[in-house]
Amino acid sequence: MALAWRGERIERLTIGHPSAAAAAASLDLDAATTDRRNLPAVVADLVDRLQRYSDGETVSFDDVPVDLSHLTPFQLKVVRACRKINRGRTRTYGELAVAAGSPGASRAVGSVMAKNRLPIIIPCHRVVGAGGSLGGFSAPDGLGMKQRMLRLEGHVTIAAKPRRAHKALLR
């Protein structure tokens, strides 16, 4: 994982990389890590929570101050509704669209989730497709990572939809 922040607000979080250098590179940061003794209190607290989350503890990220200034009013509504999805729960893209006040905007919700700069804090992994599919996930290892995160949170994981077998008539 790697974090980027400005002042007391978290701007970016990236997850699922094979090394610290790869995580830092994904945020266009130097590979050198910041000395933990010099972290702002908000950042140090978040690092601690993320470590506990990764260890399987129940941790809340509801109060983490984040920078959402890049979002449109619609995107902001979607992100705020997504932050209300509790650990171990999921919502479909359509349900999240309704919660954001835009019924019928499930594809637009999917687009907002795909561009999420703050996974885990804004729990886009808890948003799934209709009919039992996982939908998508833009972190490295994609749907595998999404399944692991949901399992970590105690959710009975939804299986990725199996591809339909092609049938051919042989004569």
Cβ-contact 37, 25 below 8 angstroms? no
- The string of pLDDT tens digits covering residues 64-110 is 999 999 999 999 999 999 999 999 899 999 999 999 999 999 999 99
Task: Kindly report the pTM of this predicted structure.
Answer: 0.83
Q: Which of 13, 118, 124, 127 is catalytic?
A: 124
| 3-class DSSP state of 10 | strand
Q: What is 73-152's CATH number, 3.40.50.300, 3.40.50.2300, 3.40.50.720, 1.10.10.10?
A: 1.10.10.10
Rounded Cα gap, residues 38 and 123, in angstroms: 28
Burial (CB count within 10 angstroms: exposed 0-12, middle 13-18, buried 19+), residue 37: exposed
Domain segments of the chain as ranges? 2-54, 73-152
Active-site residue 82, yes or no? no
